[in-house]
Structure 1
Amino acid sequence: MNAIDRTGKKYNRLWFVITLLAGTFTMSISQSSLSTAYPTLMRYFDISASTVQWLTTGFMLIMCVTMPMSPWLLNNVSFKRLFLTILLVFDAGTLVIVLAPSFWVMMVGRIMEAIAVGVLFPSFQSVLLTITDEHQRGKTMGMAGLVMGSALACGPIISGIVLNYFSWRGLFVVFMLVISLVFVGALGGLIRDVMPQKSSHLDYWSVILSVGLIGVLYVINQIGQKNVDWGKNSMLLVVSVGALVWFVIRQFHLTTPLLELRVMKTINFDLAVILTAISYVALIVTTIIFPLYYQEVLGVSPLISGLALVPAAVFLSILNPLTGKLADKVGFRRVMLTGMGLIVLGWLLVTALTEQLNIWIMMGCAMIIEGGNAFVMMPAVTMGANALPTQLVPHGTAVTTTIRQILGSTGVAVATLVLTTVTQHQNMSGVAASVAQISGFRVTFILMLAIELVGLVLALALRDTQAE
């Protein structure tokens, strides 16, 4: 499968895609596998659960700020150089973690990893969409979804195997070795300059204002936490929202904005962004709330609750490439309507059967929800890209991934808050602890059902359109 790069030279497109997705897969696993190592890290550094959680929370905050930078970087830096730099930054951050003498030094390495991942995640989607013919994009993005879904399934398994034989540092050594191999392959010619270049000035004010994302997401993640100073948090939220409003207004007044938000005016793209975010909320909340139900209500071990998530993740991985091909054949609207219908069905079942749920029923419901996600999330990204001119695809994917990350984080925070609040209120009313827990989960399930019903209604408004 030969193709032509930006310089007019031939390259092997298949090996290009494999190398690109290998780096993405490894970085994605570094996210999904880390929670398994939390107890080990808590003992090693003698830290609390709320402190170790910053390995994920801090990672997410930095990642969201670097995502809007990806369109500018793709336009101003040759893709091969950009990809090699991303790999180097990630490898250097991982090395800092391996050698870290304290938790906060480890956090520095984690931040470096987050910078690399934040740039890569929207960039790899933009590149795949740009180098693929429009009628084949569904298939290609389905393969990308397979990689991301596999990382979700494999992360906890790989982490568990490595931690069973080696120390926690061994887990990061594995990541570093794989990324180093990808770097060698990319340097050796497997990655080429395939993105069109259009040099532009970097608007530093936009970069500074985009940091408001950190403040907003930080406050969101404080929802439901104990001993939170809401006076300071409220002030931080006001300042951060103000910065983001200024950021948005500024983008519409710049000739070459950091992030082209005008893409949101495009038919189908706006709905695609919202639908991919709503489906992501369903996916991420399932991976957080279901294990809590397994452990707190059904009384299973953390290991079993983690393994119970694997079938749904595997199902998601299998369906992703199939739904991509299906979208190319029958249209994105039908595929995404099917997906939203499955997601709604999954949440409807857990809501209706809350008091009768066992681990097997919940595993089946998780498979329905995550299977529905395969019909929505990547097809929505592809449909949104098809609605845009080629030169705006990088901006479109950056907008999509950023909004998806923000709404996913918000969804988890709100679901956790509802679960905690309802359970505590029931306990204060003198209800038995077990009944209070089930009530909390039922209300949380109803909330998720309502959100996904909104997504189903929005899917009905989709139109099968071609790029203008």
Structure 2
Amino acid sequence: MTAKNSCVDLDGKKYNRILLICVLLVGSFCAILNHAMLATALPDIMKELKVDAANGQWLASGFLLINGIMIPIAALLMSKVSSRFLYIIAMMFFLLGTLLSAAAHQFPVLLAGRMIQAAGTGIMIPLTETIFLLVFPKEKRGFAMGLDGLVIALGRAVGLTLSGWVVDNYHWRVLFYLLIPVSLFVLVIACLTIRRIIPLTHSKIDYLSIVLSSIGFGGLLYGFSSVGNHGWTDVNVVMGLAIGTVITILFIWRQLKIKEPIVNLKVFRSPLFSLSVVVGGTIMTAMIGAELVLPLYLQNSRGESAFFSGLVIMPGAIVMGLMSPVTGIIFDKIGVRNLAIAGMCLLTIGTIPFMFLTMSTTYGFMIVLYAVRFFGISMVMMPMTTAGMNTLPDTLMSDGIAVNNTMRTIVGSIGTSILISVMSNVTKTELPEKNMFGSDPTLYNVLKTDAVLNGVNAAFMVAVSFCLLTLALTFFIKERHIKHRIQ
């Protein structure tokens, strides 16, 4: 153990910072691997469990929603529970959800397993980021968060291709079987290496706020997710959105009024932090939504294997992984504004051609464009997050991470459900009548393929609108915002 990497925890005991970071990164890799594997496996899961895209997407958007709801709860738990014990509990939840998912033979059971996994991930990710920001000095946080971005991208790259290979050669449940020993390994190593890093303040938990946030965000997600099956004017959609909006407003009002809110909205006094939250949410939508839509197009429309669809997406994830530490170093030297504008330009340019996919679009063209998209994301996601967090004092660090991750995840889950709902709704509207198959099967198949393609293109049109909105927002980043630190 070198003196440079030797640190002292809250109990006054020395620990190796590099070893601690490595363990946390392995845990993050496991969580991201789990989420990424679903993208290429989803078409096969939908076929076996007999669910459509509008319902199947709940395995992704529902996961993100529970994840988002748990993040502010995790921030409260950080103030009341030892960071070491909390991390171990998170890994135990993740392992339990993995076991249940592996044993699932019905869609509701698999969904329940994913929700339990999400609860563990919702604690693990913000806990990891908080520890990262506390054990590294401010001038090295860009590089530290870049390492986290590298592991996230690596998890996505491995998850997408591993998932495709497993689904093509074995069964999608094998994906969860593979996660079980990895989760056990992380759990055992965490028991030996994780230390108490985060100071405890013993904040009071407001249970009503937890209920309001769950109902509010859940209602919004349910409303947007139901569009694919019922259309925008259906009573389920309207009621879901209306109830979700009202309850979410009540939740926000309560956070402003009570003494110890579960989401400390004081962090929004920082203009740059506020921008980083919005940008992070829209990027999550563009990233995760595309990861679900593209494999559906490749497997259902083009008839490609799950492994092949993973290979198409993998280079983009690798590019993001390689660039994340680099952009972290660049951020530490030049700041975030120029990085964010350039990155959003690349993401927007790389997404626009996906609005015009056809049955003859070359795979090389898609691979290059997807890599361009993720190159842009690597220039925006972690630098914006780090810049926003750097404007907060250490006393608001855990609150900032909770708010950032909560809003980013929930906006991402709702945005993803919007993309899938638009795709499903357009496809359903343009599908030919089933009786045409008997009279002219050739024309029926052509029209069916066109309907699916139009649905995919419509989803990417929505993704482009998110990209354009975010690009416009990056021009509002000012140097004075970067230098301003709220108290």
TM > 0.5 fold call: yes
Q: In the alignment, what sits opposite 1:130?
A: 134
Q: Which amino acid aligns with 1:271?
A: L
Unaligned runs of 5+ in 1: none
Q: In the alignment, what sits opposite 2:206?
A: 203
Cα distance in 1 between the residues matched to 2:301 and 2:172: 30
Q: In the alignment, what sits opposite 1:180?
A: 184
SS at 1:269 equivalent: helix
Could you tell me whether the CA contact under 8 Å between 1:65 and 1:214 is conserved in 2? no
More displaced stretch, 11-20 vs 212-221:
212-221
In the alignment, is residue 462 of structure 1 matched against residue 477 of structure 2? yes
SS at 2:262 equivalent: coil
Offset at 1:192? 0.7
Match among 381, 386, 391 for residue 387 of structure 1: 391
Q: Compute the RMSD of aligned alpha carbons.
A: 3.1
1:66-85 map, 5 Å = 66-85=70-89
In the alignment, is residue 193 of structure 1 matched against residue 196 of structure 2? yes
| Change in CA separation of 1:103 and 1:394 when aligned onto 2, cut-off 3 Å | same
1:219-238 map, 5 Å = 219-226=223-230, 230-238=234-242
In the alignment, is residue 334 of structure 1 matched against residue 338 of structure 2? yes
Could you tell me whether the CA contact under 8 Å between 1:95 and 1:109 is conserved in 2? yes
Match among 147, 172, 188 for residue 151 of structure 2: 147
Q: In the alignment, what sits opposite 2:275?
A: 271
Match among 283, 299, 305 for residue 287 of structure 2: 283
SS at 2:271 equivalent: coil
| Change in CA separation of 1:427 and 1:174 when aligned onto 2, cut-off 3 Å | closer
Offset at 1:350? 4.2
Cα distance in 2 between the residues matched to 1:182 and 1:29: 14
Q: In the alignment, what sits opposite 1:21?
A: 25
Q: Which amino acid aligns with 2:464?
A: L
Q: Which amino acid aligns with 2:36?
A: S
SS at 1:67 equivalent: helix
Cα distance in 2 between the residues matched to 1:287 and 1:354: 18
TM-score normalized by the length of structure 1: 0.89
Could you tell me whether the CA contact under 8 Å between 2:229 and 2:424 is conserved in 1? no
Deviations 1:404-439 (A, max 9, x none): 2222233333333444555666678x9973666655
Q: In the alignment, what sits opposite 2:439?
A: none
Q: Which amino acid aligns with 1:216?
A: L
1:389-428 map, 5 Å = 389-422=393-426
Unaligned runs of 5+ in 2: 433-442
1:286-297 map, 5 Å = 286-295=290-299
Offset at 1:123? 2.2
Could you tell me whether the CA contact under 8 Å between 2:64 and 2:412 is conserved in 1? no
Q: In the alignment, what sits opposite 1:48?
A: 51
Q: In the alignment, what sits opposite 2:375?
A: 371
Could you tell me whether the CA contact under 8 Å between 1:24 and 1:121 is conserved in 2? yes
Cα distance in 2 between the residues matched to 1:230 and 1:28: 35
More displaced stretch, 221-230 vs 177-186:
221-230
Deviations 1:129-186 (A, max 9, x none): 2221111111111111111111111113333455567655543233221122122212
| Change in CA separation of 1:350 and 1:112 when aligned onto 2, cut-off 3 Å | closer
Cα distance in 2 between the residues matched to 1:248 and 1:339: 31
Q: Which amino acid aligns with 2:471?
A: L
Offset at 1:74? 1.1
Cα distance in 2 between the residues matched to 1:343 and 1:168: 31
Match among 449, 468, 482 for residue 453 of structure 1: 468
SS at 1:199 equivalent: coil
Cα distance in 2 between the residues matched to 1:312 and 1:286: 12
More displaced stretch, 53-62 vs 79-88:
53-62
Could you tell me whether the CA contact under 8 Å between 2:284 and 2:412 is conserved in 1? yes
Could you tell me whether the CA contact under 8 Å between 1:298 and 1:358 is conserved in 2? no
SS at 2:114 equivalent: helix
Q: Which amino acid aligns with 2:321?
A: S
Q: In the alignment, what sits opposite 1:303?
A: 307
Cα distance in 2 between the residues matched to 1:333 and 1:292: 35
SS at 2:197 equivalent: coil
Percent of residue pairs bearing the same amino acid type: 30
Could you tell me whether the CA contact under 8 Å between 2:164 and 2:310 is conserved in 1? no
SS at 1:258 equivalent: coil
| Change in CA separation of 1:263 and 1:82 when aligned onto 2, cut-off 3 Å | same
| Change in CA separation of 1:107 and 1:9 when aligned onto 2, cut-off 3 Å | same
Cα distance in 1 between the residues matched to 2:155 and 2:116: 20
Q: Which amino acid aligns with 1:208?
A: V
More displaced stretch, 9-18 vs 123-132:
123-132
Offset at 1:373? 0.4
Q: In the alignment, what sits opposite 2:440?
A: none
Could you tell me whether the CA contact under 8 Å between 1:64 and 1:214 is conserved in 2? no
Could you tell me whether the CA contact under 8 Å between 2:82 and 2:200 is conserved in 1? yes
Cα distance in 2 between the residues matched to 1:70 and 1:387: 22
